[in-house]
C-alpha cells in the first residue's frame, strides 16, 4: 500500500514537472520565436486581436490567437524588435498603421502586403518590401517544357491541358496515375511460353485491335483526379477481352468504380492500387458495367473510395450473380462479369504483338515522367528537356495502360520508328483522342516489362443470355 502511494506521488511529481516544463518551454520558445512579420504580414486585413476580444497590457504569454499554422500575440510585449504580433495588432491595439505594409504592382494594379494571386500552380504573396514572393513548386504544365518539346526534334508534340493547368507536378504524379509497382513475387510470376518462331511470325507492320474487332474495343475513360489507373486499365482490358471472346454477344464497358469501391483489400482506391489485386477481384467476385455502377470522381479527399454498392453471390460453376441493384437507378442490367486468372507475357516485343493480334488488348505497367502529361501527338519518348532543371522538375510515377496495337513510321533517312498504340485513362481530349503512341522495342518507360493478358469467363450460355441486351453499350 505504501509502495503504491509512493508510486502515485512520484507520478504526480512527474506530471507537475511536465506542466512546468511546458510553460517554461513556451516562454523560451516565444523569446526564440521566428519573427512572424519579417517576411511580410500574411492576411493584414484579417481579424485576430479584434476577434479575440481585445489586447493585453505588458507581457502576457497566454494572450494569443491561432494564426496560419502557428499563433500570434496581442500583448504589448509583441511589439519589439522581433515581432510576433497579430496582423491587426497595430491597428486594433495601438491605433496606428502597421509598420510593415507595402504595396506591389501587377498588371498596372496596386496590391497590399499579404494579398495573393495564383501563377499557374504557385501562390504569390505581396511581400513587405513591395516584391511578389512566389512559391517555387514545379507545375504539371510548364510552358517552357511545352515549347522545348515542340522546338526540338523528339518525334512528338506537346500541348497545354486546362485540366492539368494549375496543378503541381507532385499533384499530377499523386492524383493522375495510381498503379503500384508489382511486388517481387508478382514480378517473378511465370511468363507464358509461346510457341513462336521469331523468324516466321507473320506479324504485320501495322495492327490495331479496333480495326480487327470493330465495336469491341472500348473508348478511353477519364480517371479525373483519382489515382486509380490500376482499376481503369484492368476494367478496360477485361471489357475488350470479354467483347472479343463472346464475339460481340456481350460488349460490356466494365466499371472501374466497382473495383475502386469494392476491391478494398490491400488496395488504396483513388490513392493507388495493384493490378494483381484487381484481377483477383474480377475473377473471384466479378464486376458490373460502368453504366450500372458509374464512376464518381472524388471531390474532396482523393483517398475516399466511397461505400461499396455492389455485392455478388455464387450461383454455382464459378459463376456469380449480383445481390444488389445498379447504383445507377436507370439501369436494370446488373449482370456480373468475371475473368479467368491473368497471365504474364514475356517482355519480348514480338510475343506481345502476337498476343494482341490473336487475343486482343493487353495491360501494361509504365513509368510516367513529367513530360508525358503534356503529350499531344506523335510517338512518345521521354525527353531530356527537364534535365537542366532542379530535381523537383524531374519526377516519375507508376501507371498502367491498355495496349491495343502497333505500327511504324519512317524517318527521313528511311530508318523505322516503331511504336505501340495504347489507351490512357485521361479522357478523350488528351493525346490522340485519349490514345497515345509510344516507342516500341526499347522498353520505353518500362512499358514492355510487365504485360498482362487475360481471358474473360464466357460460356455458350452467356452468349445466349446476353444477346438480347447487348445493344445497351453506350455510344
Ligand atoms: C511599437 O509600435 C510603434 C508603432 O508602430 C512603434 O513606433 C514603436 O517603435 C514600437 N515599439 C518597439 C519597441 O518596437
Ligand atoms: C494553359 O491553359 C490555361 C487555361 O486552360 C491558361 O490559363 C494558361 O495560360 C495556358 N498556359 C500555357 C503555358 O499556355
Q: Looking at ligand 2, which residue's alpha carbon is closest to its atom 3? A: 162
Q: For the chain, what is the total number of helices (H) and then of strands (E)?
A: 12, 18
**Closest C-alpha to 258, from 321, 186, 307:** 307
State the pTM of this model.
0.78
The Cα 475–Cα 143 span in angstroms is: 35
* C-alpha cell read off for 195: 510457341
Residues 375, 378, 381: CA angle, nearest 5 degrees:
65
| CB burial readout 167-187, b (16+ within 10 A) else e | bbbbbbbbbbbbbbebeeebe
Could you give the domains of the chain?
A: 46-99 (no CATH), 103-134 (no CATH), 145-472 (3.90.70.10)
Confirm if 368 and 173 have CB atoms less than 8 A apart: yes
Ranges under pLDDT 50 in the chain: 1-27, 467-475
* Nearest alpha-carbon partner for 285 in 246, 259, 251: 259
Distance CA 403, CA 362 (A): 5
In angstroms, the CA 138 to CA 300 distance is 23
Q: How many C-beta neighbours within 10 Å does residue 51 have?
A: 14
Please provide the size of the chain in residues: 475
Residue of the nearest CA to atom 10 in ligand 1? 79
Residue 321's SS3 state is strand
**Spacing, Cα 83 to ligand 1 middle (Å):** 10
Ligand 2 neighbour 143 (Cβ under 6 A): yes
Query: Of all protein residues, whose CA lies closest to atom 5 belonging to ligand 1?
Result: 99
Ligand 1 binding pocket mutation candidate from 99, 101, 128 (most atoms within 8 A of CB): 99
- Cβ contacts of residue 103 below 8 Å, gap of 6+? 110, 111, 112, 113, 126, 130
Nearest CA to ligand 1 atom 3: 79
Query: Alpha carbon of 3 to those of 9, 11, 123, 472: distances in Å?
Result: 10, 12, 61, 79
Whole-number Cα distances in Å, 102 to 89, 93, 345: 17, 20, 64
| Strand 435-439 versus strand 451-453 pairing type | unpaired
To test the ligand 2 pocket, which listed residue (157, 162, 166) has its Cβ within 8 A of the most ligand atoms? 162
| C-alpha neighbours within 13 Å on the C-beta side of residue 65 | 22
Ligand 2 mean position, distance from CA 120 (Å): 8
Q: Of the residues 107, 141, 166, 430, which should be mutated to test ligand 2's pocket, given the most ligand atoms within 8 Å of the CB?
A: 141
Q: Is the CB of 103 under 6 A from ligand 2?
A: no
Alpha helix stretches (DSSP H) within 202-274 = 209-212, 229-245, 256-262
Q: Whose CA is nearest to atom 8 of ligand 2?
A: 165
Q: How far apart are CA 45 and CA 90, in angstroms?
A: 12
> Which residues fall within 8 angstroms of residue 163, CB to CB, at 6 or more apart?
426, 427, 429
Query: Among 453, 455, 450, 454, which residue's Cα sits nearest to residue 188?
Result: 450
> Is 399 within 8 Å of 178 (Cβ atoms)?
yes
Q: Which residues contact 205 (CB under 8 A, 6 or more apart)?
A: 407, 408
Name the closest-CA residue to atom 4, ligand 2: 162
Ligand 1 centroid–CA 29 distance in Å is 22
CA distance 125 to 71: 20
Give the Cα separation of 474 and 244 in Å (integer). Answer: 17
Residue 80: nearest ligand to its CA?
1
Chain center to CA of 112: 36
Give me ligand 2 centre to Cα 160, in Å. 6
What pLDDT, in 10s, does the model give residues 447-466? 999 999 997 777 766 666 65
> Distance between CA atoms of 226 and 237, rounded to whole angstroms?
19
C-alpha cell at 66: 491561432
Residue with the three cell numbers 486482343? 360
pLDDT (0 to 100) of residue 76:
93
Proportion of the chain in helix, strand, coil states, percent, rounded to 5? 30, 20, 50
What percent of the chain is modeled with pLDDT above 70? Answer: 83
In this structure, are residues 450 and 231 in contact, taking their beta carbons and an 8 Å threshold? no
Is 300 exposed, middle or buried (CB count within 10 Å of its CB: 0-12, 13-18, 19+)?
exposed
Find the helix or strand (DSSP H, E) in which 367 lies.
strand 362-369
Q: Which atom of ligand 1 is nearest to the CA of 94?
A: 4
Amino acid at each position: 500500500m505504501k509502495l503504491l502511494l509512493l508510486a502515485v506521488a512520484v507520478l504526480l511529481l512527474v506530471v507537475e514537472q511536465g506542466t512546468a516544463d511546458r510553460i517554461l518551454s513556451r516562454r523560451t520558445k516565444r523569446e526564440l520565436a521566428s519573427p512572424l512579420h519579417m517576411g511580410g504580414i500574411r492576411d493584414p486585413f484579417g481579424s485576430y486581436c479584434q476577434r479575440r476580444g481585445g489586447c493585453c497590457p505588458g507581457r502576457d504569454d497566454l494572450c494569443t490567437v491561432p494564426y496560419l499554422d502557428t499563433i500570434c500575440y496581442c500583448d504589448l510585449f509583441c511589439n519589439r524588435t522581433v515581432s510576433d504580433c497579430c496582423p491587426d495588432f497595430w491597428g486594433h491595439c495601438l491605433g496606428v498603421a502597421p509598420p510593415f505594409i507595402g504595396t506591389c504592382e501587377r498588371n498596372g494594379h496596386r496590391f497590399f502586403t499579404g494579398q495573393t494571386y495564383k501563377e499557374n500552380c504557385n501562390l504569390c504573396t505581396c511581400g513587405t518590401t513591395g516584391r511578389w514572393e512566389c512559391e517555387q513548386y514545379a507545375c504539371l504544365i510548364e510552358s517552357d517544357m511545352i515549347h522545348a518539346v515542340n522546338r526540338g526534334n523528339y518525334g512528338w508534340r506537346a500541348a497545354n491541358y486546362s485540366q492539368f493547368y494549375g496543378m503541381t507536378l507532385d499533384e499530377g504524379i499523386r492524383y493522375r496515375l495510381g498503379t503500384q509497382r508489382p511486388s517481387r513475387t508478382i514480378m517473378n510470376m511465370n511468363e507464358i511460353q509461346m510457341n513462336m518462331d521469331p523468324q516466321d511470325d507473320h506479324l504485320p507492320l501495322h495492327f490495331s485491335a479496333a480495326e480487327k474487332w470493330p465495336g469491341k474495343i472500348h473508348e478511353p475513360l477519364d480517371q479525373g483526379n483519382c489515382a486509380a489507373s490500376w482499376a481503369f486499365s484492368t476494367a478496360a482490358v477485361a471489357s475488350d477481352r470479354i467483347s472479343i471472346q463472346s464475339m460481340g454477344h456481350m460488349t460490356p464497358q466494365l466499371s472501374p468504380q466497382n473495383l475502386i469501391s469494392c476491391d478494398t483489400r490491400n488496395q488504396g482506391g483513388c490513392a493507388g492500387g495493384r493490378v494483381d489485386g484487381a484481377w483477383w477481384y474480377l475473377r473471384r467476385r466479378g464486376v458490373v458495367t460502368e453504366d450500372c455502377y458509374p464512376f464518381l470522381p472524388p471531390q474532396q479527399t482523393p483517398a475516399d473510395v466511397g461505400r461499396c454498392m455492389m455485392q455478388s453471390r455464387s450461383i454455382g460453376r464459378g459463376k456469380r450473380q449480383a445481390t444488389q441493384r445498379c447504383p445507377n437507378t436507370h439501369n436494370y442490367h446488373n449482370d456480373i462479369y468475371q475473368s479467368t486468372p491473368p497471365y504474364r507475357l514475356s517482355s519480348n516485343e514480338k510475343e506481345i504483338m502476337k498476343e494482341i493480334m490473336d487475343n486482343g488488348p493487353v495491360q501494361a505497367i509504365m513509368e510516367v515522367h513529367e513530360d508525358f502529361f503534356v503529350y499531344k501527338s506523335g510517338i512518345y519518348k521521354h525527353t531530356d528537356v527537364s534535365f537542366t532543371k532542379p530535381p523537383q522538375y524531374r519526377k516519375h510515377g507508376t501507371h498502367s495502360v491498355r495496349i491495343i496495337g502497333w505500327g511504324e513510321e519512317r524517318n527521313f533517312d528511311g530508318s523505322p520508328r516503331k511504336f505501340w498504340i495504347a489507351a490512357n485513362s485521361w479522357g478523350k481530349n488528351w493525346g490522340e483522342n485519349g490514345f497515345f503512341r509510344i516507342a516500341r522495342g526499347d522498353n520505353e518507360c518500362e512499358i514492355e516489362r510487365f504485360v498482362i493478358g487475360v481471358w474473360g469467363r464466357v460460356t455458350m450460355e452467356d452468349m445466349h443470355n446476353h444477346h438480347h441486351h447487348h445493344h445497351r453499350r453506350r455510344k
